[in-house]
Homo-oligomer: A and B are copies of this chain.
Amino acid sequence: MSSTFGSAYRVVTSGESHCKGVGAIVDGCPPGMELTEADIQPQLDRRRPGQSAVSTDRNESDQVVIQSGTENGKTLGTPISLFVPNKDQRPGDYSEMATIPRPSHADYTYQMKYGIRASSGGGRSSARETIGRVCAGAIAEKFLGDQFGIEIVAWVHSVSDIVSQVPDMTMINRSEVDQTIIRCPDLKAAAEMEALVMKTKEEKDSVGGVVSCVCRNVMTGLGEPVFDKLEAMLAQAMLSIPATKGFEIGSGFAGTRMKGSEHNDPFVLKGKRLGTITNNSGGIQGGISNGEPIIFRVAFKPPATIGLPQQTVDFEGKETTLEAKGRHDPCVVARAIPIVEGMAAIVLADCVLLQRRVF
């Protein structure tokens, strides 16, 4: 059941690129919480195509409607149904995909799995599917923020080999992130990234990047040991976002090159709780949050749909050349920021509700 995520804070998304609309049902949001569309729309706007020069030129307004689950601006504890109508549909842009599976896209595998696929090619693998996630994530984030002061901030860590420097990730906030359209708070790196993306767009090519995310003020005790370790749930959540190729927590892959005596995070008294001096653990030990900031990174590949001609074969195996005609993202990391934040919020809200007994 691929379209359901979470156990206590449960999200189901629905919708393809070119049906009546996309959306989600959130089941498990606590009752009595203030909630209107205005709490959700800002993150949707940050996800929106056409928002800046570094994203696709395809413009989608994407206005969310809360169809149920609230009354007088408060949640009822019942399922919250969210809907975003589809508007800017140009099926013509996709006609070539009827016969030629786009390399590194989902056309071929959907056809093999289901024996049928949406004419738009993307279907459920379309980036529009993430709209439901961003809506559900914004609600989760409001719950976490209002109740516990939890803050979640993601930013672009790197684009291709341009790597940003963020001196203090315990302080970084969304205003700093949104200072640049590439959403990188290191202004020098941001300028280089934007230049590279614009150049790549002109070349009808695409480029990848890495998103960093920090979750602050997370209480100790979140995450279920063994299979549902907090980092395991985050890993699933992040690798479920289209175009992701990797996930690392804390020291990550670089940590494999350290010695235990360097890597271990010694404990120290921080006010009334134990904290750690370093944070190679990334805020999680034994699958359970330890009260330190949760820090992780997600790798996004260069988008598969490019305007450059590609030598490939059609569904029959006949050699052909494909040139994607639609308007596509040369790089997805800037628009991926609210998706990464949303999925992190969904995971944390789920863990908080599973653990709620101890607060």
Contact = CB atoms under 8 A, between A and B. Distances in A.
A104 B235 contact: no
Interface string A237-256: 11110101111111111011
B263 A114 contact: no
Interface stretch (A48-56, A172-180, A187-195, A297-305): A297-305
A92 interface: no
A350 to B, nearest CB: 11
A256 B245 contact: yes
Interface stretch (A39-47, A138-146, A204-212): A204-212
A14 B79 contact: yes
A107 to B, nearest CB: 8
Nearest to A228: B2
A31 B65 CA distance: 28
Chain A interface residue count: which class? 35 or more
A6 to B, nearest CB: 9
A344 interface: no
Contacts of A123: 76, 78, 225
Interface in A22-52: 22-23, 25, 27-28, 30-32
Contact of A312 (B113, B267, B312): B267
A115 B227 contact: no
A19 interface: yes
Contacts of A335: none
A269 interface: yes
A119 B207 CA distance: 51
A260 B302 contact: yes
Interface string A265-305: 11111000010100011101111111100000001111111
Given A108-B285, A253-B246, A256-B245, A76 B239 contact: no
A89 interface: no
A166 interface: no
Contact of A285 (B5, B106, B269, B285): B106
A287 B2 contact: yes
Given A103-B266, A119-B71, A227-B5, A12 B12 contact: yes
5 contacts: A14-B25, A78-B118, A109-B286, A245-B248, A246-B255
Interface of A: 1-5, 7-8, 10, 12-16, 18-23, 25, 27-28, 30-32, 65-72, 74-81, 83, 101, 103-106, 108-110, 112-119, 123-125, 129, 158, 160-161, 200, 205-210, 220-221, 224-229, 231-240, 242, 244-253, 255-269, 274, 276, 280-282, 284-291, 299-306, 308, 310-313, 315, 317, 353, 355-358
Given A207-B260, A269-B317, 8 more contacts: A5-B226, A12-B25, A21-B67, A76-B116, A104-B263, A209-B256, A263-B301, A264-B306
- Shortest 4 CB-CB distances between A and B: which pairs? A106-B286, A2-B224, A206-B260, A246-B248
